[in-house]
Amino acid sequence: MLKYFYDMSTLHIRGSRRKLITGAGTVGVGAVTVLTLGACGEDGGAGAAEAATADPTVSSLHDYESAEDIWQALLDGNQRWADGEAVHPDTDVEWRESLAEGQEPRAAIFSCVDSRVGPELVFDTGVGDIMVTRTAGNVFDPLVSESVSYGPAALEAPLLVVLGHQKCGAVTAAHEALLAAEEGTELEEHEYALPETVEALRPAYEAAKTESGDPVDAMIKTNVLLTIQALKEHPNLAELVADGELTVVGGIYSLETGLVTEVS
């Protein structure tokens, strides 16, 4: 039943792109209604005004069309952030007001909820530049996948970035819990438990066992790579990837240097 629902959703999104039309489909005896997202999803806002930046020497992300150029622009912004030279483009009042009628983000980013890893800051971007989905440890499930895939599938963002980060608390906790379970040892109990997160990260834990170096670092990287693969195969994105309309890349953010390193 879940697979059938996704197939129906895929047809709806791929059939309209950006302009989602109100409609209803019947699954069994229940009806599922897809609501019009209005200004949140319709095209036209980003094209209504030229990109404005706080620093004229820094191009707006909306000046770029290809995934390769957008990714390089994000990395350039990340370098500015790491160097303490962030300019916060696309944040003036005129630009903000131009987005009231719609949006055209140039990239979608899936990252962790960690307070030190805000993608808008890490990549030095502005309002309407990127569409961000965040979960603890980049945990990926069917509901989250619909949020992550919305930018590329419905708004035609040509780039999707999976961003893990150094010293991820959720991944560290999952590694400790899974290792303790394997060894039959007990962990100190905490008031805040993460059983679902731990289980969701089990594939990364298992796959990272053969990697050298720090096991948590290996698990963080492996989780990014597994998530990239899952996104490439997602019903809303697979055709876009196959047709070359969407590029999915991964990166690891260093809390110490402020830099994002691409992983593959």
pLDDT higher than threshold 70 for residue 38: no
Q: What is the mean pLDDT of residues 4-16?
A: 33
Question: Which carries the bigger pLDDT value, residue 26 or residue 75?
Answer: 75
pLDDT higher than threshold 70 for residue 182: yes
Confidence of residue 194 (pLDDT cuts 50, 70, 90): confident
Bridging pattern class, strands 130-135 and 159-165: unpaired
- DSSP letter for 98, please: H
pLDDT higher than threshold 60 for residue 42: no
Q: Check: pTM over 0.85? Answer yes or no.
A: no
**Ranges 24-38, 140-154, 238-252, most confident:** 238-252
Mean pLDDT score of the chain, rounded to an integer?
82
What local confidence, expressed as pLDDT, does residue 132 receive?
97
Which residues, other chains included, contact 236 with Cβ-Cβ below 8 Å and sequence gap of 6+? 6, 9, 10, 13, 14, 145, 146, 149, 152, 153
Domain 2-263 sits in CATH 3.40.1050.10: yes
What does the alpha-carbon distance between residue 71 and residue 60 come to, in Å, rounded to a whole number? Answer: 13
- DSSP letter for 261, please: E
pLDDT digits (tens, 9 = 90+) for 125-155: 999 999 999 999 999 988 899 999 999 999 9
Taking each helix axis from N to C end, the angle separating 215-232 and 169-183, rounded to the nearest 10 degrees, works out to 110
Contact 171, 137 (CB under 8 A): yes
Q: Which of 161, 258, 183, 255 is nearest to 217 (CA)?
A: 255
pLDDT higher than threshold 80 for residue 202: yes
CA dist list (Å): 4 to 10, 20, 234: 10, 19, 13
Confidence of residue 58 (pLDDT cuts 50, 70, 90): confident
Q: Which of 63, 161, 73 is nearest to 110 (CA)?
A: 161
Q: Which amino acid is at 199?
A: E
Chain length of the chain: 264
Phi, psi of 234 (to 5 degrees): -65, 140
Instruction: Give me the residue spans of the domains in the chain.
Output: 2-263
- DSSP letter for 147, please: H
pLDDT higher than threshold 70 for residue 89: yes
SS3 42: coil
- Alpha-carbon radius of gyration of the chain: 20
Question: Which carries the bigger pLDDT value, residue 116 or residue 41?
Answer: 116
Which pair of structure tokens corresponds to residue 245? 């309309």
What does the alpha-carbon distance between residue 11 and residue 77 come to, in Å, rounded to a whole number? Answer: 35
